[in-house]
Every structure is written in C-alpha cells, then in structure tokens.
Structure 1
Amino acid sequence: MHLKDKVALITGAAQGIGRAFAQALLEKGCKVALVDLNVEVGEASKSAFDKEFGTQRSIFIACDVSNEENLKDAFKKADQHFGKLDIVVNNAGVNNEKNWEITVQINLISVIRGTYIGLEYMKNKNKCSEGAIVNVASLAGLIPAAFQPVYCASKHGVIGFTRSIAMFSAAENYGVRINAICPGFVNTPILQSIEKEENMGLYSSHKQDIKDMMEFYGVLDPSLIAEGLIKILEDDTLNGEIMKITTNQGIHFQEYSPLPFQSRKL
C-alpha cells in the first residue's frame, strides 16, 4: 500500500503508541482521524500535528471505544470528514486486573467491533481492493502473564480473532488485509501506571515482580512500534500475520505451522 493520501482512523491516538502511529502516518502523507476518550490530551495532540502538518491533515474525535454507538459514530465522522477510510488501527487498550470487565471490553470486544465496522467501510468500496486493519495486541497474547491474567486473555483473544478474520476477509475477497502487532513493554502512560493498586487488584502484592519483568525484557520506545505499523501497511503480502517487537530482536514475526485444512493462502 502506498500511504500518501490514505485516510487512517486510530483509536487511543491521543498519546503513547497511538500518537506515535499518527505521527508516522502523517509523515508518510496520510490523513488521520485521532480517536480517543481523553479530550484534553487528544486536542493537544491535534494542535501539535496542525503546527507540523497543517490543519487539514488530521481530525480529533472524542470517543469511548467501549460504547458501541460512540465507536460507530467515530467511524461515521471520520468517513464524512475525509470522504473515505483506508486504514483502521484498533489500538486503544487498558491494563486493569481489578476492574477486569473493562479490560475485556476495551482490549478485546472493542477491537472486534472496530474491525467489523472497519470492514463495512472498506471492503471492496468503490471496487478498491486496498484496505488495511491493524489490531494492537501484546507479547502477553503469546505467552502467559502470571500477574496479568485478564490482560493476557484479552490479548490472546485479539490474536486469535485477527488471524481468523484475516482468513475470512481473504476468502470473501474483501480487499482488506488484517494483521496484529505484539509489542513487549512500551514506554507509555499505561506502562507507567501498570503497578498501581487500582490496576493490579489482588495482584498488587507482586509489584516488584512486574518491575523485575520490565528490567529483564527492557522497555521499547513507541516510535519502534510505529515503524512496525508502517512495515505492515506497506507490505501488501502480509495478511493474518502477527508481528512481534522486542528489545533484543526488534521487529519480527511469529511463526506458525500451516493449517492442514487451509484451502487457500491468507
């Protein structure tokens, strides 16, 4: 996919990984809908992007992605404002083991819903066979996480859903590639609050274990995750792939054995 003049919608775009995604896409010549619940930070990010890229290149849309009507409205506003939608990045996420229902709601259900809504806007629209959806998971979606079991479950779900819906999109000739990114620990506001008692709940006695894990695995800069996003979007051969990003191996992909019953390539 050539990114110049493409239109992208990014959830959780006000800060952290989402803001890095927006920065990278704007630098590539995209127009971007910044979708986030945090109005103050979202508008500040929009203002900063305006100064660097001009006022017409981005729009901020306040949205609670856990609310179905809010999310549908965000897509509608982005499509109406820019006249089309080419890229969806389901990035919004939380890490809360105490209020674990909201973790499932935002990390998994909202990603599933965002993918389905994105497909409705992009699949073979105007006979265009070039759309892309990228779902943000985590390395915790590939390995167990003893002190973050619900977060871990939500990210495992994102990976399973992404690989499966990518196969369906290919089988239906939707013209929309769907992939996922699994970073390790990333220097974001979520990481900075990960060990707070209101987030860890009954696992709060293991704060030091979380710190030890971060020390062992290292912490990534959001710009590297954005680099991974650009790689996925620009490589038209990628569909149903799970990109891993770590401090010791950088950007690479999870390897899976071919499914014996798979009748066609992803």
Structure 2
Amino acid sequence: MALVGKIAAVTGAGKGIGQALTETLLKNGAKVALLDVNEAAGKSLAEALGKQYGQDKVLFINCNVESDEQMKAAFQKIIETFEAIDIFCNNAGILNETQWEKTISINLMGVIRGAYLALEHMNKLTGGRGGVILNTASMAGLGPLLSCPAYTASKHGVVGFTRAMGAASAASGYGVRFNALCPGFVQTDLFNNIQGNLGQFSHLRDAAQLLIDKMGTMTASEVVECVIELLTDETKNGEVFYVYPQGTSYVTFPSMVK
C-alpha cells in the first residue's frame, strides 16, 4: 500500500513518536489528522506542517482518547474533511505508576476504543476502503519493566489486542490489517519523566536507570523510519515489531495449536 494520497490519523500526534509518525506520513504523500489532548502542541505542529506540506493536507483535532464522545466526533470530522480513512495510528500513551488506572485507561482502553471506532469507518464489509491500524506498544509489552508494572500490563494488553484483532480481521474479511510497534527507550517527554512517575516503585529508580544505560536510547524519528513497512506491506498483519538501538526484529510467539 503506497502512502501517497492515503488518509491517516494519529493520536498523541503533537509530540514524540506521534509527531514523527505524522511528519513521515506527510513526507510520503499522505494527508494526516493530528489528534491530541495537548491543544497547544497539536495546533502548533499542525500549523507548521500545514505551511510545509499544504493546509489541505493537515487537520488538527483536540481530542482525549479516554472519551467516547470526543473520539466519535473526531472520526466524524475526519470523514467530513477527507471523506475516508485508510491509516489509523493508535499512539497516545502515558507512563505514571501513581495514576495506574489512568495509565490503563489511556494506554489500553484508549487503543481498543480507537481501533473499534476506526474499524467502523475502514471495514470493507461496511463500506470502508480497508487499510491498516498501527498500535504503539512498547518493549514493556514483550517483557516486564520491574519499575512500571501497570505500564507493562497496559502494553502487554496492546500486543495481545493487536494480534487478536489481526487474526479476527483476516478471518472476517474486514480488509484492515493490525500491527504493533514495540520500541525500546525513546527520547520523548514520556521517557524524560519516567523517574518521577514511578510512584510506589520509586525505590527501583536505579534498576530502571541501569536498564536504560545498558540498552541505550533512540530518537522518535529513528523508530519511525523502521516501521514504514508495517503500514505499506500488505502481508504484514498481526505483526509485533520490536525496534531497539541495536536493530529490529519481528517477534515470534508460541503457537496455541500443536
């Protein structure tokens, strides 16, 4: 699937990986709706990108992924503006072990909500054009981060949801692919604030820092450069893609059928 002329939407688009996804999509010829609860960051980025790529290529929508009402309105606005949606990047996320319920609400419930609402407009069985939904998980979705149990649980959920939806979509003929991105440590606001958001696990700060020092970090742009094929390669469905400073790999899981 070439990206030229495609209609994309990105949650958490104002900064970090969301910003890098947005810029990459525009650079490759797509039109992009930027969804973000941070109105200042989202508007500022949309204005800058509109000047660079054309105002008709960019749409900013102030939106909280925890709200059914706001998300439904956002998709309606996308359809009214661009007439369809081909790519949905479920990217909004937080890490806050003190506010663990909000972490689960945004990171997992927000992803499921966004995917189901996007599917209503993308599903070929209901008049959509098909496409791809990319869910941003984390390396914490593949193995435990001892200092962030709730965040780890949320990202494991994203990985499981993505794999199940990829299989369900293929079996149902929806024409929509589902893939998950699992980056290592990325230089974003979320990463920069990790040590202050560990809550009852703040005594494990040193252990967390040792892991960071051992693994190294990446920029958001470096991560996104690696995942274009998840969007464009029609054979990629239900895939979980691990991106880390030393390289990339598709994750294999044990089969449930022997």
TM range (shorter): over 0.9
- The alignment status of 1:61 with 2:61, answered yes or no, reads yes
How far apart in 1 are the matches of 2:126 and 2:52?
32
Conservation of the 8 A alpha-carbon contact between 1:139 and 1:182: yes
Superposition deviation, residue 259 in structure 1: 3.9
Superposition deviation, residue 79 in structure 1: 1.4
Superposition deviation, residue 47 in structure 1: 1.4
- 1:199-218 matches, within 5 Å, as 199-218=197-216
Q: How many residues are treated as equivalent by the alignment?
A: 258
Give the match for residue 6 of structure 2: 6
Conservation of the 8 A alpha-carbon contact between 2:218 and 2:245: yes
How far apart in 2 are the matches of 1:61 and 1:49?
14
- The alignment status of 1:239 with 2:237, answered yes or no, reads yes
Q: Secondary structure at the match of 2:80?
A: helix
Give the match for residue 115 of structure 1: 115
Q: Secondary structure at the match of 2:56?
A: coil
Per-residue CA shift, 1:129-187, capped at 9, x if unaligned? 54100000001011011110000000000011110011110111000000100000001
How far apart in 1 are the matches of 2:128 and 2:84?
11
Q: Secondary structure at the match of 2:45?
A: helix
Q: Secondary structure at the match of 1:61?
A: strand
How far apart in 2 are the matches of 1:155 and 1:66?
16
Q: Secondary structure at the match of 2:195?
A: coil
How far apart in 2 are the matches of 1:41 and 1:102?
21
Conservation of the 8 A alpha-carbon contact between 2:121 and 2:128: no
Give the match for residue 151 of structure 1: 151
Conservation of the 8 A alpha-carbon contact between 2:120 and 2:126: no
Give me the TM-score of the superposition, normalised by structure 1.
Answer: 0.93
Give me the TM-score of the superposition, normalised by structure 2.
Answer: 0.96
- The alignment status of 1:75 with 2:75, answered yes or no, reads yes
Give the match for residue 185 of structure 2: 185
Superposition deviation, residue 208 in structure 1: 2.3
Q: Secondary structure at the match of 2:181?
A: strand
Give the match for residue 264 of structure 1: none
Farther off after superposition, 106-115 or 119-128? 119-128
Pick aligned residue for 2:251 from 236, 247, 254: 254
Per-residue CA shift, 1:71-96, capped at 9, x if unaligned? 11111111111111000000000000
How far apart in 2 are the matches of 1:193 and 1:177?
33
